[in-house]
């Protein structure tokens, strides 16, 4: 499991840039960012090298930010890689609340998934590994 930063961000001009500047000024490096929007606000999800420092900087600058535990799973970066992961998770009856993907250098992509059960990914680690996937730690992504 890794720590993801979740930020509720007002949907107004310049707000995303200001949030990113806050993190940059705090010395936080982001490796992934996902944005979902509604009419009034956005939900920004961030994978960063120092999630606790990021939340401290954001809340100190009046952003609504929290840490959420999610699974980061290394998946072969090839056609069908994600499909095989999802089929494996489906066979384990794991319910995915949301997810997003990003790619690092090399031949693996990273799928970030939020499960309904906080312990689901840890409990499934052996099965995932047997199926050719690897559960990543925060250090793996730094």
Q: What is the CATH number of the domain that holds 12?
A: 3.30.2130.10
pLDDT at residue 105, rounded to an integer:
67
pLDDT one-digit tens code per residue, 70-117:
999 999 988 999 999 999 999 998 889 999 998 876 788 999 999 987
State which residues form the domain around 121.
70-141
Ranges assigned E (strand) in the chain: 2-10, 30-37, 41-48, 64-76, 96-103, 108-115, 134-135
Average pLDDT of the chain? Answer: 91
pLDDT grade for 29, boundaries at 50, 70 and 90: very high
7 and 63 housed in the same domain: yes
pLDDT at residue 142 is higher than 80: no
pLDDT at residue 48 is higher than 80: yes
61 and 74 housed in the same domain: no
27 and 37 housed in the same domain: yes
35 and 14 housed in the same domain: yes
Q: Identify which of 53, 55, 86, 82 has the alpha carbon closest to the alpha carbon of residue 68.
A: 55
CA distances from 7 to 46, 85, 88 (A): 8, 27, 30
27 and 74 housed in the same domain: no
Look-up of token digits 């929007």: 37
76 and 129 housed in the same domain: yes
Rounded to an integer, the average pLDDT of 14-42 is: 93
64 and 84 housed in the same domain: no
112 and 75 housed in the same domain: yes
Q: Residue 99 is encoded by which pair of tokens?
A: 């997810």
Number of domains in the chain: 2
95 and 127 housed in the same domain: yes
């Amino acid at each position: 499991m890794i720590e993801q930063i979740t930020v509720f961000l007002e949907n107004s001009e310049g707000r995303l840039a200001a949030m990113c500047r806050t993190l940059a000024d705090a010395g936080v490096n982001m490796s992934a960012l996902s944005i979902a929007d509604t009419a009034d606000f956005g939900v920004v999800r961030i994978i960063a090298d120092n999630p606790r420092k990021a939340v401290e900087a954001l809340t100190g600058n009046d952003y609504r930010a929290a840490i959420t535990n999610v699974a980061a799973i290394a998946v072969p970066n090839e056609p069908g890689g994600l499909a095989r992961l999802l089929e494996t998770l489906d066979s384990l009856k794991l319910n995915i609340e949301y997810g997003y993907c990003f790619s690092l250098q090399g031949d693996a992509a990273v799928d970030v998934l939020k499960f309904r059960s906080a312990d689901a990914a840890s409990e499934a680690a052996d099965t995932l590994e047997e199926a050719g996937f690897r559960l990543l730690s925060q250090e793996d992504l730094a």
